[in-house]
Structure formats: C-alpha cells, structure tokens
Amino acid sequence: MVSRAPVEVPVYISTAGEGVAGVVTVPGEPDAQVGVILMAGRARDRTHRNGMWVEAARELAERGMYALRLDYPGVGNSTGDPVVFDLERPPTFAVQAAARFLLEHTPVRRVILAATCFGGRVVLDAAPEIPEVDAVAVIASPVYARGATVRTRLRSLVRRARRRTPQVVESSMGNRAQQQREVGPPVEQRVSPAFARALTGFLRRGTVYFLYAENDFVTDELRFALEQLRPDASRYRLDVLPGDLHSFRSLDAQRTTIDLVVSWCERVAAERPVARV
C-alpha cells in the first residue's frame, strides 16, 4: 500500500445529547491501530496555544498513529452550554466518547491519552474506565485539591519574587517557617482524592508519563503527591524540564512539549504491539 500524507477530518462526537467537537488526523497508513487523544486545559480549545496540538497531531500521523484533538464539552466547536468544570469531577464522559468513536469508526485498537493542565486530570480520570487505554501523558497538571493548588500557586509566585528582590520580599513575607504555616491544610489532605484514585487505579494496568517543568507551581504538587502515594516506579516516568511549561507561553515550551509527547507516544506504540486486542 502506498503511504499518503495525513488527512484531517473535523467531527462532532455525540454524547450526553450534545456534540463534542474534534479533529481526527488520519495517517497515510489507514490500518494504523494506535490512536492518540489530545486535550488542552479547560479554557482552551482543541488546537492549544499557537496550534501546538495541530502540529503534534500531524507529527503523530506521520509516525503512523491516528490523532484526535478534542474540545471540551461546551468549549471550542463543541455544542452545548459552557460549564465551569470541577477538578474533582472532570468531564471524563467526553474522553470516553471520543475513545469509543475512534474504536468504532477507525481501525484503532489501542488508545493513548495526552493532555495538559486540567486536561491531564481529565484523561487520567477517564483512563481506568477505557480498557483500550494503556498509557496516559499528564503534562503540567495540578494534582492538589483546588484550595491547596491556589495556595501552591501563590507560594510559587512569592518564591519567584524572592529570587528577584530578596530583601524586599523577605521583610514582607516573613521567614520560611511562617510561610509553611500559612500554606493551609495538613500535607496529607492536599493531594486531590480524584487524582490519587485515578492514578493508583490506572497504574494497575497502564503506564503514565508525567511531563513537568522546574519553575511551574504544579511541579512541587506532583513531587509531593508521588512521595505520598508511592506508586510503582516502574509504571510511571517523570521528566522535569528546566524553565516553564504551564500555559505554554513560549515557543520553546511548545516545541519541546510536542517533541517529547510525540516521541513518547511513538515509543509506547512500539513497545506494546497491537496484537494485544
């Protein structure tokens, strides 16, 4: 069979009475049996900042995988009313519907999920309920319960400010012990119960790739959560890059993320041949 250039097809996926919108990138080898579902943060549409998921989808298809970049329900081209989603109850039904769509309408037999920020929580929460998913990439996602996430973000801002103007911040913010007292609930209560449940549940049969960056406020959250939950280290991988990823407000962050996610998907696809199903 002659390999062709990937082709993109916009779709509406019917679920819960509405249409969740997405774009499927069909690889030149249409018999490809691995599909990757990409999501952004909750306020962003499926293309992500500066179209980084458009580029990632094209590169995945060039490597022989289907890609589906997915809008949230009520966001982007999806129909229905906009909803403010809760980190503890993310809209997993959209991911489940998207996976079913790929499995029913293309030759895809295995699904990989990859998403940034809030989307990382959505796909991780959805993964245990989709038997065909065996790998998830969680990228720069908060993993604390909401109140604690707000506090870590504030603490991160203070830390950055201290780096730039130590004398001023030191006098106004007090010492480190005082800051520790101000950050809120006991540490054992900080990790999101939904995250803990989804991670421990999914790692029984799948693998997770955490992609974070040193300066992101969410990175401390993830490190703490992994310390607390102690998941099987052979079931996950954590890459912490220098600089920032969260919000993807630099071209470097976008390019690095695309490269790492695409190469990780390629490795996952190669490691476990499709014959499994």
Q: Which residues bind another protein (CB under 8 A)?
A: 1, 4, 7-14, 17-19, 21, 23-24, 26-28, 30, 41-47, 49-51, 54-55, 58, 74-77, 79, 81-84, 101, 103-107, 157, 160-161, 163-164, 215, 244, 247-254
E-assigned strands of 177-228?
A: 207-213
- When the beta carbons of 76 and 201 are compared against another protein, the nearer one is 76
C-alpha to C-alpha distances, 57 to 7, 21, 47, 69, 228, nearest whole angstrom: 10, 15, 10, 7, 34
Instruction: Output the smallest distance, CB 17 to another protein, in A.
Output: 6
Instruction: Output the smallest distance, CB 236 to another protein, in A.
Output: 27
Residues shown for the chain: 277
Burial class from Cβ neighbours inside 10 Å (0-12, 13-18, 19+) for residue 31 reads: exposed
- Separation CA 32–CA 110 (nearest Å): 10
DSSP letter assigned to residue 144: B
Task: Single out the residue of 228, 254, 224, 226 nearest to residue 241, CA to CA.
Answer: 254
Residues 6+ apart with CB under 8 A from 165: none
Instruction: Output the smallest distance, CB 213 to another protein, in A.
Output: 12
Instruction: Output the smallest distance, CB 168 to another protein, in A.
Output: 13
- When the beta carbons of 7 and 187 are compared against another protein, the nearer one is 7
Instruction: Output the smallest distance, CB 266 to another protein, in A.
Output: 20
- Separation CA 93–CA 247 (nearest Å): 24
Q: Are 134 and 205 in contact (CB under 8 A)?
A: yes
- When the beta carbons of 23 and 262 are compared against another protein, the nearer one is 23
- When the beta carbons of 140 and 208 are compared against another protein, the nearer one is 140
- When the beta carbons of 83 and 270 are compared against another protein, the nearer one is 83
Instruction: Output the smallest distance, CB 255 to another protein, in A.
Output: 11
- The tally of CA atoms less than 13 A away on the side-chain side of residue 129 is 17
Instruction: Output the smallest distance, CB 52 to another protein, in A.
Output: 8
- Separation CA 19–CA 209 (nearest Å): 29
Token digits for 34? Answer: 């691995």
Q: Which amino acid is at 202?
A: F
- When the beta carbons of 10 and 185 are compared against another protein, the nearer one is 10
- When the beta carbons of 82 and 185 are compared against another protein, the nearer one is 82
